[in-house]
Amino acid sequence: MDDQLHRDAATGLVMRRDFDRMVEWEVRKSADRKGSFTLICLDIDQFHQIRLTHGEEVAEVLLRRLTDVFRGGTRQGDVISRGVADQFFLLLPDTRPEQGFVVIEDVRRLLTNSTLKIPGRSEALSLQCTFSAGLATYPKDGADRETLQRKAAAALFRAKSEGRNRVCMAVDEKMVLKANYYARSQLDRLTSLARGLDRTEASLLREAIEDLFDKFEPTLEGRGHEPGETPGGEPPAVDRSGRH
Protein backbone atom coordinates (compact mmCIF):
# COMPACT_ATOMS: atom_id res chain seq x y z
CA MET A 1 0.00 0.00 0.00
CA ASP A 2 2.84 2.39 0.87
CA ASP A 3 4.26 2.16 -2.66
CA GLN A 4 0.91 3.27 -4.09
CA LEU A 5 0.69 6.48 -2.03
CA HIS A 6 1.17 9.85 -3.66
CA ARG A 7 3.78 11.94 -1.84
CA ASP A 8 4.55 15.63 -1.54
CA ALA A 9 7.62 16.50 -3.62
CA ALA A 10 9.12 18.86 -1.03
CA THR A 11 8.73 16.74 2.12
CA GLY A 12 8.06 13.19 0.97
CA LEU A 13 4.93 13.11 3.12
CA VAL A 14 1.66 11.48 2.12
CA MET A 15 -0.54 13.75 0.00
CA ARG A 16 -3.82 14.92 1.51
CA ARG A 17 -6.03 12.93 -0.86
CA ASP A 18 -4.42 9.62 0.12
CA PHE A 19 -4.34 10.68 3.77
CA ASP A 20 -8.11 11.21 3.72
CA ARG A 21 -8.59 7.70 2.37
CA MET A 22 -6.39 6.34 5.15
CA VAL A 23 -8.49 8.14 7.75
CA GLU A 24 -11.68 6.68 6.25
CA TRP A 25 -10.14 3.20 6.36
CA GLU A 26 -9.16 3.82 10.00
CA VAL A 27 -12.77 4.79 10.76
CA ARG A 28 -14.02 1.47 9.37
CA LYS A 29 -11.34 -0.52 11.17
CA SER A 30 -11.96 1.19 14.49
CA ALA A 31 -15.72 0.74 14.14
CA ASP A 32 -15.29 -3.00 13.54
CA ARG A 33 -12.88 -3.40 16.47
CA LYS A 34 -14.54 -0.83 18.74
CA GLY A 35 -11.21 0.96 18.88
CA SER A 36 -10.13 4.58 18.74
CA PHE A 37 -7.68 6.76 16.85
CA THR A 38 -6.60 10.37 16.98
CA LEU A 39 -6.50 12.94 14.18
CA ILE A 40 -4.34 16.05 14.51
CA CYS A 41 -4.34 19.23 12.44
CA LEU A 42 -1.42 21.61 12.92
CA ASP A 43 0.28 24.52 11.25
CA ILE A 44 3.47 26.46 11.80
CA ASP A 45 3.15 29.68 13.76
CA GLN A 46 4.05 32.84 11.80
CA PHE A 47 5.19 30.80 8.80
CA HIS A 48 4.01 33.47 6.39
CA GLN A 49 6.33 35.97 8.07
CA ILE A 50 9.24 33.53 7.85
CA ARG A 51 8.57 33.11 4.13
CA LEU A 52 8.47 36.88 3.60
CA THR A 53 11.61 37.51 5.63
CA HIS A 54 13.84 34.70 4.39
CA GLY A 55 12.38 33.75 1.02
CA GLU A 56 10.70 30.77 -0.59
CA GLU A 57 13.81 28.59 -0.73
CA VAL A 58 14.49 28.88 2.99
CA ALA A 59 10.81 28.23 3.73
CA GLU A 60 10.87 24.99 1.74
CA VAL A 61 14.04 23.80 3.49
CA LEU A 62 12.43 24.66 6.82
CA LEU A 63 9.42 22.51 5.98
CA ARG A 64 11.74 19.58 5.33
CA ARG A 65 13.49 20.15 8.68
CA LEU A 66 10.12 20.27 10.40
CA THR A 67 9.10 17.06 8.68
CA ASP A 68 12.17 15.40 10.20
CA VAL A 69 11.14 16.65 13.64
CA PHE A 70 7.61 15.31 13.21
CA ARG A 71 8.87 11.93 12.02
CA GLY A 72 11.34 11.72 14.87
CA GLY A 73 8.73 12.57 17.49
CA THR A 74 5.94 10.28 16.35
CA ARG A 75 5.63 6.51 16.54
CA GLN A 76 5.97 3.74 14.01
CA GLY A 77 2.60 3.37 12.32
CA ASP A 78 1.63 7.03 12.74
CA VAL A 79 0.92 8.79 9.44
CA ILE A 80 1.95 12.37 8.61
CA SER A 81 0.55 14.33 5.70
CA ARG A 82 1.25 17.78 4.33
CA GLY A 83 -1.70 20.00 3.52
CA VAL A 84 -1.67 23.46 1.99
CA ALA A 85 1.48 25.55 2.63
CA ASP A 86 2.51 25.02 6.27
CA GLN A 87 -0.39 22.82 7.33
CA PHE A 88 0.18 19.23 8.43
CA PHE A 89 -2.11 16.38 9.43
CA LEU A 90 -1.32 13.40 11.62
CA LEU A 91 -3.17 10.12 11.99
CA LEU A 92 -2.39 8.20 15.18
CA PRO A 93 -3.97 4.72 15.01
CA ASP A 94 -5.15 2.92 18.15
CA THR A 95 -4.73 6.09 20.18
CA ARG A 96 -7.02 7.54 22.86
CA PRO A 97 -7.30 11.33 23.36
CA GLU A 98 -4.89 11.58 26.26
CA GLN A 99 -2.34 9.41 24.43
CA GLY A 100 -2.60 11.55 21.30
CA PHE A 101 -2.21 14.71 23.34
CA VAL A 102 0.99 13.40 24.95
CA VAL A 103 2.48 12.45 21.57
CA ILE A 104 1.91 15.82 19.90
CA GLU A 105 2.66 17.82 23.05
CA ASP A 106 6.05 16.11 23.32
CA VAL A 107 6.76 17.05 19.70
CA ARG A 108 5.67 20.63 20.38
CA ARG A 109 7.98 20.91 23.39
CA LEU A 110 10.86 19.39 21.44
CA LEU A 111 10.44 21.88 18.60
CA THR A 112 10.01 24.85 20.95
CA ASN A 113 13.34 24.03 22.60
CA SER A 114 15.19 23.38 19.34
CA THR A 115 17.08 25.54 16.87
CA LEU A 116 16.81 24.49 13.24
CA LYS A 117 19.84 25.01 11.02
CA ILE A 118 19.00 26.10 7.49
CA PRO A 119 21.84 26.23 4.93
CA GLY A 120 22.21 29.66 3.34
CA ARG A 121 24.16 31.05 0.41
CA SER A 122 26.68 32.79 2.68
CA GLU A 123 26.08 31.27 6.09
CA ALA A 124 23.62 28.95 7.79
CA LEU A 125 20.48 30.39 9.33
CA SER A 126 19.38 29.40 12.82
CA LEU A 127 15.61 29.49 13.14
CA GLN A 128 13.32 28.71 16.03
CA CYS A 129 9.79 27.61 15.19
CA THR A 130 6.64 26.69 17.02
CA PHE A 131 3.36 25.19 15.92
CA SER A 132 -0.25 25.15 17.05
CA ALA A 133 -2.33 21.99 16.86
CA GLY A 134 -5.88 20.76 17.23
CA LEU A 135 -6.76 17.20 18.16
CA ALA A 136 -9.90 15.11 17.67
CA THR A 137 -10.44 11.44 18.51
CA TYR A 138 -12.70 8.72 17.11
CA PRO A 139 -15.33 7.92 18.32
CA LYS A 140 -15.44 10.54 21.12
CA ASP A 141 -15.39 13.55 18.80
CA GLY A 142 -16.96 12.13 15.67
CA ALA A 143 -17.89 8.97 13.79
CA ASP A 144 -16.69 10.01 10.32
CA ARG A 145 -13.68 11.68 8.71
CA GLU A 146 -15.41 14.96 7.92
CA THR A 147 -16.58 15.51 11.49
CA LEU A 148 -13.21 14.64 12.97
CA GLN A 149 -11.35 16.94 10.58
CA ARG A 150 -13.79 19.76 11.26
CA LYS A 151 -13.38 19.42 15.02
CA ALA A 152 -9.59 19.14 14.79
CA ALA A 153 -9.53 22.29 12.64
CA ALA A 154 -11.75 24.11 15.16
CA ALA A 155 -9.41 23.07 17.97
CA LEU A 156 -6.47 24.37 15.93
CA PHE A 157 -8.23 27.69 15.47
CA ARG A 158 -8.74 27.84 19.24
CA ALA A 159 -5.04 27.14 19.82
CA LYS A 160 -4.17 30.02 17.51
CA SER A 161 -6.68 32.32 19.17
CA GLU A 162 -5.36 31.56 22.64
CA GLY A 163 -1.82 32.63 21.79
CA ARG A 164 -0.26 29.97 19.50
CA ASN A 165 2.40 27.37 20.39
CA ARG A 166 -0.08 25.07 22.08
CA VAL A 167 -2.21 21.98 21.57
CA CYS A 168 -5.99 22.13 22.02
CA MET A 169 -8.35 19.18 22.14
CA ALA A 170 -11.73 19.15 20.43
CA VAL A 171 -14.69 20.20 22.54
CA ASP A 172 -18.33 19.22 22.40
CA GLU A 173 -19.86 21.59 19.84
CA LYS A 174 -22.98 21.85 22.00
CA MET A 175 -20.83 23.40 24.71
CA VAL A 176 -18.96 25.93 22.59
CA LEU A 177 -21.50 28.67 23.21
CA LYS A 178 -20.82 28.60 26.93
CA ALA A 179 -17.81 30.84 26.23
CA ASN A 180 -20.29 33.56 25.30
CA TYR A 181 -21.85 33.57 28.75
CA TYR A 182 -19.04 32.90 31.23
CA ALA A 183 -15.81 34.66 32.13
CA ARG A 184 -12.52 32.98 31.21
CA SER A 185 -11.72 32.45 34.90
CA GLN A 186 -15.04 30.65 35.39
CA LEU A 187 -14.41 28.38 32.41
CA ASP A 188 -10.93 27.55 33.71
CA ARG A 189 -12.39 26.66 37.12
CA LEU A 190 -15.04 24.51 35.43
CA THR A 191 -12.39 22.64 33.43
CA SER A 192 -10.29 22.06 36.56
CA LEU A 193 -13.31 20.84 38.52
CA ALA A 194 -14.37 18.45 35.75
CA ARG A 195 -10.89 16.92 35.60
CA GLY A 196 -10.70 16.60 39.38
CA LEU A 197 -14.08 14.84 39.55
CA ASP A 198 -13.45 12.79 36.38
CA ARG A 199 -16.64 14.16 34.85
CA THR A 200 -17.52 16.16 31.76
CA GLU A 201 -18.06 19.90 31.84
CA ALA A 202 -21.47 19.35 30.25
CA SER A 203 -22.66 17.07 33.07
CA LEU A 204 -21.56 19.56 35.71
CA LEU A 205 -23.38 22.40 33.96
CA ARG A 206 -26.53 20.31 33.60
CA GLU A 207 -26.43 19.51 37.31
CA ALA A 208 -25.95 23.20 38.15
CA ILE A 209 -28.92 24.15 35.95
CA GLU A 210 -31.13 21.58 37.66
CA ASP A 211 -30.11 23.07 41.03
CA LEU A 212 -31.04 26.48 39.64
CA PHE A 213 -34.51 25.23 38.68
CA ASP A 214 -35.01 23.66 42.11
CA LYS A 215 -34.04 26.93 43.76
CA PHE A 216 -36.15 29.39 41.76
CA GLU A 217 -39.14 27.49 40.32
CA PRO A 218 -40.93 27.40 43.71
CA THR A 219 -40.64 31.20 43.77
CA LEU A 220 -42.28 31.45 40.35
CA GLU A 221 -45.02 29.05 41.38
CA GLY A 222 -45.75 31.30 44.34
CA ARG A 223 -46.30 34.14 41.89
CA GLY A 224 -48.74 32.10 39.83
CA HIS A 225 -46.41 30.82 37.12
CA GLU A 226 -46.46 27.16 36.14
CA PRO A 227 -43.10 25.32 35.88
CA GLY A 228 -41.78 25.60 32.34
CA GLU A 229 -43.88 28.68 31.62
CA THR A 230 -42.14 31.84 30.51
CA PRO A 231 -42.64 34.99 32.63
CA GLY A 232 -44.89 36.45 29.92
CA GLY A 233 -47.31 33.56 30.28
CA GLU A 234 -46.58 31.99 26.89
CA PRO A 235 -45.33 28.41 26.67
CA PRO A 236 -41.63 28.00 25.89
CA ALA A 237 -40.59 27.37 22.31
CA VAL A 238 -40.45 23.72 21.37
CA ASP A 239 -37.43 22.28 19.57
CA ARG A 240 -39.01 20.11 16.86
CA SER A 241 -35.74 18.98 15.35
CA GLY A 242 -35.63 15.83 17.45
CA ARG A 243 -32.55 16.96 19.38
CA HIS A 244 -32.38 16.78 23.18
Are both 166 and 177 inside the same structural domain?
no
Tell me the Ramachandran region of residue 117: left when phi exceeds 0, alpha when psi lies from -120 to 50, beta otherwise: beta
* pLDDT given at position 178: 52
* pLDDT given at position 233: 44
* pLDDT given at position 119: 79
CA distance 46 to 40: 19
The domain tally of the chain equals 2
Per-residue pLDDT of the chain (244 residues; tens, 9 = 90+): 455 788 888 788 999 999 999 999 999 999 999 999 999 999 999 999 999 998 998 999 999 999 999 999 999 999 999 988 899 999 999 999 999 999 999 999 999 999 998 876 567 889 999 999 999 999 999 999 999 999 999 999 999 988 999 999 998 765 554 555 566 677 778 778 888 888 777 677 778 878 887 887 777 666 665 544 444 444 444 343 333 3
Rounded to 5°, angle at Cα 113 from 110 and 116: 90
Are both 103 and 22 inside the same structural domain?
yes
Domain enclosing residue 213, as ranges: 172-226
35: in domain: yes
As a dihedral over the C-alpha atoms of residue 80, residue 83, residue 85, residue 88, rounded to 10 degrees, the angle is -40
16: in domain: yes
- Output the domain CATH number for residue 150: 3.30.70.270
* pLDDT given at position 183: 63
- Predicted TM-score (pTM) of this structure: 0.69
| DSSP single-letter state for residue 237 | P
CA distance 134 to 126: 27
Are both 31 and 70 inside the same structural domain?
yes
Are both 166 and 199 inside the same structural domain?
no
